[in-house]
Structure 1
């Protein structure tokens, strides 16, 4: 893990480029504090992004934002269960606001660029800046909605429906290549199975079945969506 403060000379962008929407909501004084107290660093594939405790790093408790790269959020239930891709939400914000323990972790799926802000600074902004507070709470609620919808799908659909829903979720999140069919993300069968609440062998079998039905095409880790309407139907009723 490579660490740098945002004020040091690094190849990383200025903090204003990393959190542009939040930056626009901050006062000049708050921006000064963010520049002085924030840290930008990289996490390698497989490395845990959140939570990072003060004991582990000898630092104050932080709220973490994924800036670049792909990361997965795992619920801690009978092991680590991947539930969704980590977006631009602030990891640790819910714990800061509620004081409740969190039952998830976040790990880098690819090399990631991460921004860490001291929890006390984020709390200060929430207490004193209505615009910034509304932005952060809106993001937190959207993230909660995404998690809830993913959990509903994983607990109410059969395996084909769960896999179809996962593929459409990835399509919405990452989009497609210029050919209009190939997803812009490459995942192992194990990760696809985890996101769909099934074993790797079942994921392989269900993907092959969807391919045989002409809905998708498989080429290694590449997945092409050929019949989106049919895939949507399976995601809802399969």
Structure 2
């Protein structure tokens, strides 16, 4: 089992299992090390780091119509921020859920399991579609295992669900949830199993494969575009 600081320090990039699905690449690892995850020590309005967390959450989610006071962290929550080159790029939180939660009801085989919920995922617009979402999901899986939980899960909007599933989370087919009370906005559960070491090994290998693919394809695209005459439309544009 990892110590939390191993995860926050990106030391999982030193483990052989990380490279079992894609080869170690200095270029990919260098890019990943630009992202750092930091735990916010106290969910307390008197703490500056927590006030900044709340401000970031409101600034990121209000324009999307996703901000609600009831979505703010509870005292049992663990809050995190992710930096890119020392600038805050995203936040997220992890909260234990009670044994009669919607996750226990809708995730197959989840009855009586210890479940950690991911929410308050908010990303600066400049980083959307980058590696950041994958980094958050990988760290959620590793932290869930380290903290002794068997499942880490979240409820996400249908339109962005494919991004999570592409990374490797497990979607659940159930009646649509309407978190915001709007029947036209459909939300679904997706999750990682995190009880066994094999689950962690999968998260490590899958996440690095995802990062390797993203970085490599971005570099290939840059090379191709640099060779195209000016004014040539991108394929698929």
Q: Tell me the TM-score range normalised by the shorter chain.
A: under 0.3
Q: Which of structures 1 and 2 has the larger relative contact order (alpha carbons within 8 angstroms, sep 6+)?
A: 2
- What is the TM-score when the length of structure 1 is the normalising length? 0.25
- What is the TM-score when the length of structure 2 is the normalising length? 0.25
| Structure of larger gyration radius | 1
